Structure 1
Amino acid sequence: MILITEFMALDWVDWLSARGDVTYQPDLPDRPDDLARLARDCHALIVRNRTPVRGPLLDAGFRVVGRLGVGLDNIDVDGCRERNIAVIPATGANTLSVAEYVVTTAAMLLRGAYLSRDAMQAGDWPRGPLGQGREIAGKVLGLVGYGEIARRTGALGRALGMTVIAHDPFASDFDGTEAVDLPALLARADVVSLHVPLTDGTRDLIDGAALAAMRPGGVLVNAARGGVVDEAAVCDALRSGHLAGAALDTFAAEPLGADNPFAGVPNLILTPHIGGVTQEANARVSEMIARAVADRLGL
């Protein structure tokens, strides 16, 4: 049996079902007891980022984990390797969606002209302040991390007239992009976009000190991993006006709890971890993982 625990394009659920026994229950992350029970009867798990594949679940007996996405924070990769469980991410399938998310939200925050509906319907005409928005062309895009998604983000930024710089101590080839250290990137970039996994070395990488080191009026976009930024510090920087805007797509706790720090914070875009989720990306991710899991199982 193939157990699919989170949403997947239905065409590819059906494609798998035509080749074997499939259980599709996309709410299983909210029912851990049912997840543990069903996993004991499956040969492969297909998950997104909300299903924790670790602990006792690793001993359920499945042989393959297909990840509908690229981040592996929710999967104990070492534990899978020790048990000869193959872990298959959908590398590259949602790259364009994340890159588009970064560039479009950065342009929106720089322009600052798209959140005035309530004021205008109330009779205001904020043409003066909203006319102070900035163009994205000519701005510096700083990429923290320089993997595939960052490279595509940089290409889109250049197409809009941006200058691109990058920081990544593990990258060996920057494709002609100027490589800088993190302090230089923060000091120069009008837009800082994060493209790093969550590790001990990247947790709270963008903290209060890093935000203070950013250019006044800068914009921050995190479509990488929650925990890479200090969320309370971002709120403080937005309230003070040091940051002109921020877009957060990933969070330290998902979904957000009632005690989150974001209420009333200005110039802040919050989205529910969907930077890499579009109709097109979901189709590509679902096809890639369906075919890879079926191939691994010999279906």
Structure 2
Amino acid sequence: MTSASSAVGDGRTVIVGPVRYAELCGSGRQLLLDHGFTLVENETTVPWTQAELHSLLVGADAAVAGVEVYDQDALAHANRLQIISRLGVGLDNIDLDATRTRGIHVVNVPGGNAAAVAELAIGFMIAVLRRLPEMDAATKAGRWDRFVGRELAGKSIGLIGFGAIAQLVARRLHGFDVAVTAFDPFADEAAAARLGVRLVDSAAAAIADVDIVSVHAPHVAATHHIVDDALIGAMREGTILVNTARGGLVDQAALVRGLESGRIAGAGLDVFEVEPTSATNPLFAHPNVVVAPHAAADSREAYERIGLATARAIVDVFAGRLPEALVA
């Protein structure tokens, strides 16, 4: 590394919120070190508290953001901060209005973990259809039972949202000979045509008469509880619901009612309205609900990609270049 490259980060501090950053994002971490940045890393197994974040922001020039919340209160401590580089896609933990007011760049990594999330979404579909958790539990308990499930082949899929992840889901599903419908007010029509996806003009139209509904929308005010009693009531009896996006997109109480009524035959959930969720969550009373701890994006390949992209954005800002995927 040249001295000019090293000088980019001289005297500058990057705070790193995501846990296991050194283990999972080695290339990105090394890039920052090679450019002379000083790293203050979260070496625990849990996110920083807001008090810890506030204290660290006082001396930070840049931040690699995980799930910690960069709201107005936090940013009030960030007089030196020039960039928040989000290790992932979602930005609901960053107050973008406040960052714009303070002139702080915000970047994310759209598509960086899309493959990992898309694969888990399809994995949930198969797990629920084939009743994998029930088979697993019974076999380990010494019962050689027969669980008759259903095939994914030939099913109809409704996608709520048609961004990078949903498009990969559609692409990966192609080999299963399924019919895919999608709703997204900002849908890429060319991508839909290329993938053989039928676009519709509402969430209700996307879920009408399909076997599986998979949620991939961003969580904003307009999409909060987009899957509610009314939408579930409009689904075909025995629909499977998959959510690998954000917990707030699905009204959990409505989902429980849908499961109890049989309108929802099963669900695959990586996200919850309140996280971490409680062991007494009423959804867990249903053996046809398969869950994960908000881990859809957690593949080693995804972390390597997004870790490097996140670091490059920080280097770009301090080298006087405009970073890719600039949000604010």
Query: Could you say whether these structures have the same fold, taking a TM-score greater than 0.5 normalized by the shorter chain as the test?
Result: yes
TM-score range, shorter chain: over 0.9
Q: CA deviation at 1:240?
A: 2.9
> Within the alignment, does 1:86 sit opposite 2:116 as a pair?
no
Query: One-letter code of the match for 1:238?
Result: L
- Partner of 1:56 in structure 2? 73
**Contact kept? 2:239, 2:265, Cα under 8 Å:** yes
- Partner of 1:5 in structure 2? 17
- Partner of 2:137 in structure 1? 118
Call closer, same or farther: CA 1:240–1:75 in 2, change over 3 Å. same
Aligned-partner Cα distance in 2 for 1:207–1:15:
45
Normalised to the residue count of structure 2, the TM-score between the two structures is: 0.84
Greater relative contact order structure (CA < 8 Å, 6+ sep): 2
> Within the alignment, does 1:179 sit opposite 2:179 as a pair?
no
Q: What do the CA deviations read for 1:219-259 (whole angstroms, capped 9, x no partner)?
A: 11111111110112212222333212111111221111466
Alignment of 1:184-195 (within 5 A): 184-195=205-216
Aligned-partner Cα distance in 2 for 1:121–1:32:
42
**Contact kept? 1:239, 1:266, Cα under 8 Å:** no
**Contact kept? 1:238, 1:266, Cα under 8 Å:** no
Q: What do the CA deviations read for 1:129-161 (whole angstroms, capped 9, x no partner)?
A: x12x11111111111111111111111111222
Aligned-partner Cα distance in 2 for 1:16–1:110:
45
**Contact kept? 1:203, 1:228, Cα under 8 Å:** yes
> Within the alignment, does 1:219 sit opposite 2:240 as a pair?
yes
Gaps of 5+ in 1: none
Aligned-partner Cα distance in 2 for 1:200–1:10:
32
Matched residue of 2:317: which SS?
helix
Q: CA deviation at 1:125?
A: 3.1
Of 98, 108, 118 in structure 1, the residue corresponding to residue 117 of structure 2 is 98
- Partner of 2:253 in structure 1? 232
Q: CA RMSD in A?
A: 1.9
Matched residue of 2:106: which SS?
strand
Gaps of 5+ in 2: 1-12, 321-328
Aligned-partner Cα distance in 1 for 2:204–2:73:
42
- Amino-acid identity (%): 35
Bigger mean CA deviation after superposition, 239-248 or 225-234: 239-248
Q: How many residues align?
A: 295
Normalised to the residue count of structure 1, the TM-score between the two structures is: 0.92
Query: One-letter code of the match for 2:61?
Result: H
Alignment of 1:30-69 (within 5 A): 30-48=48-66, 50-59=67-76, 60-61=78-79, 62-69=81-88
Matched residue of 1:41: which SS?
coil
Query: One-letter code of the match for 1:102?
Result: A
Matched residue of 2:63: which SS?
strand
**Contact kept? 1:13, 1:24, Cα under 8 Å:** no
Aligned-partner Cα distance in 1 for 2:259–2:57:
44
Aligned-partner Cα distance in 2 for 1:281–1:121:
32
- Partner of 1:148 in structure 2? 164
**Contact kept? 2:25, 2:303, Cα under 8 Å:** no
**Contact kept? 1:231, 1:261, Cα under 8 Å:** no
Call closer, same or farther: CA 1:92–1:118 in 2, change over 3 Å. closer
